Homo-oligomer: A and B are copies of this chain.
Amino acid sequence: MSKIVGIIGGVGPYAGLDFHKKILDCTPAKSDQEHLEIYHISASAKIEDRSKFLQGKSLANPAEGLIYAAEKLVAIGAEILVIPCNTAHSDPILSPFLEFIAKKNALFLNLLEETCRYIRSKGLQKVGLLATLGTYQSGVYQFYFRQIGCGELICPTESQKQIVSDAIYNPEKGIKSGAQTGWASSQLDLVVQSLQNQGAQAVIMGCTEIPLALGNSDFLLDPGQILAKRVVQAAL
């Protein structure tokens, strides 16, 4: 029997769907009945913006909303849990969540751990990072790079970080507004180019919204894609 997958979605809602689709794409199924059982909760209104919290612009810990969703998923039988949001894996948010999960009979697969293991397995020595301001500020990728034993992580300049953030959050043209191509892609491309010029052998799209605008390739690493493969492997 395959294990039941629980997606703590809504972070953001489109990124959750994109991740869910990646699980379907990775599943060796030719009919509906061969697919995994997947429960997906998108309770975005109950989850504070992760970046805002990490930057001290809000006191509400997004962990509360993540636990709200996880509680429901576990209650109806989810056995493998995932959070398709990079920023949510920074310590101030993930720690209370892990404390909650430790008491439950469910396996949590960590998006950043899986991504860093993948990077190490590919022998990449110098890797760039596109992320939210909260993710940069929290140093969470640096933490997992050290813990897993990856090479060097290159971050953009402060003004480039702002460009990435605006491509994600701009209320009119940003990816979270539903406008997933055009302007946001071209803004992100500028920063990718700069990281490549600095010698990055690959760039992590370290916010699950970014692949919605950039797609993925051997150069543009998609943590959601890496995690989706791992989820299917663990569930089957």
* Interface 0/1 of A66-91, CB less than 8 Å to B: 00000010011100000000000000
> Measured between alpha carbons, how far is A39 from B178 in the docked complex, in Å?
20
Contact B33 A42 (CB under 8 A): no
A33 in contact with B44 given A17-B17, A76-B75 (CB within 8 Å)? yes
Chain B neighbourhood of A29, CB < 8 A = 178
Q: Which of B17, B36, B37, B45 contacts A21 (CB 8 A)?
A: B17
What 1/0 flags go to A112-127 for Cβ under 8 Å of B? 0000000000000000
CB atoms of A37 and B46 under 8 A apart:
yes
Please, how many angstroms separate the alpha-carbon atoms of A72 and B72 in the complex?
9
Across the two chains, which residue of chain B brings its CB closest to A47?
A: B32
A153 contacts the other chain (CB 8 A) = no
How far apart sit A30 and B44, CA to CA, in the bound complex (Å)? 12
Contact assessment for B37 and A12 in the assembled complex, using a CB-CB cutoff below 8 Å: no
Residues of B within 8 A of A47 (CB): 32-33
CB <8 Å contact, A13 and B32? yes
Q: Which residues of B contact A34 (CB under 8 A)?
A: 45
Asked whether A39 lies within 8 Å of B37 as measured between CB atoms, the reply is no
Q: Measuring CB to CB, which residues of chain A are less than 8 angstroms from any residue of chain B?
A: 2, 10-14, 17, 20-21, 24-25, 29-49, 72, 75-77, 169, 171-172, 176-178
